[in-house]
Structure 1
C-alpha cells in the first residue's frame, strides 16, 4: 500500500472514536480505524481547518479508479439509519476519508477486493 498522507483529527472525534473501537473489539475495520487514529495529529474541533474531513462533515470525493464522484456525510454507525447520503466511520471508505484535506488522495485496502483510491474534492462542515 502507498504511503498514507498525514491526517488531522479533532480531539473530540478522537475520544469518541477511541471508545467506539474499544466496543467493536478485534475486527479488521476497527483495526483499520485504530491505525488511522494512531497517525493523526490531534486538533481541537474549534481550531480545525474547514477543508479537513471530520465526523459529520459532508464530503465530496472521487473514486479515481472508476472516475465516479460521491457526496456523503461521515457519521457514527448508529447515525447511518437508512444510509441515504451517509457513510459510517466503520465502513472502509469512511475510515479512509477521516482527517484528509481537500486535494489529498488515499489508497485504502478492502479485504478480499482491490484497494480503492479516493481523492477529496470538497468538505462542508456541519454546524
Structure 2
C-alpha cells in the first residue's frame, strides 16, 4: 500500500475540479476542517477536458468499487458532490476523507486517508461501474465494450 509520501497521480475533469474548488473554498471560509485534504488533492491533480477523462479514473457521478484496508468484501458507492447527496447508503460525498481519497485514482491504485478521529486507512480501487455524464446519459462498461444509454 502507498504511504503518505508515495501519492499516486490523480486526474480530474475540469468540471469536477472547478466545482470542487468552489465547494472547498466555501467550506474553508465557513471554518470546516474537511476541505484541507480536498484542497491538497486539487492542487496536485492533472486536469483534463471531461471528454478526455480516462475510463479507469474515479470521478464524481461514477460508481466506484473499492476496498478499505484488508476488508474481506468490496464496497461500491456512487461518488457525488455533497449538495447532490440524496441517498447516503448508496452514495459517498466526495468531500469526506474517503471520497477525497478515491477521487482521481485509477483502477488498481491505492491511497491513504485519515478519518476525523485520526484513524489512518488505505483505500484500493477495484473497479468503476456506471458513470453518469453531464447530459444525463450513462456509460456502462460491458465485456464487449461501452454501452451508452
Identify whether the pair has TM-score above 0.5, normalized to the shorter chain.
Answer: yes
Larger Rg: 2
Residues 76 and 34 (structure 1), Cα distance of their counterparts in 2 relative to 1, 3 Å cut: same
Q: Aligned pair count?
A: 127
Deviation by residue 1:35-78 (Cα, 9 ceiling, x = unmatched):
00101000111011110001101000011333331000100112
C-alpha distance in 2, partners of 1:20/1:111?
Answer: 19
CA contact (8 A) 1:75 1:88 kept: yes
Higher RCO structure (Cα 8 Å, ≥6 apart):
1
Give RMSD over aligned pairs: 1.3
Instruction: Please give the TM-score of this superposition, normalised by the length of structure 1.
Output: 0.93
CA shift, 1:116, in A, is 1.0
CA contact (8 A) 1:53 1:98 kept: yes
For structure 1, list consecutive stretches of 5 or more residues without a partner in the other structure. Answer: none
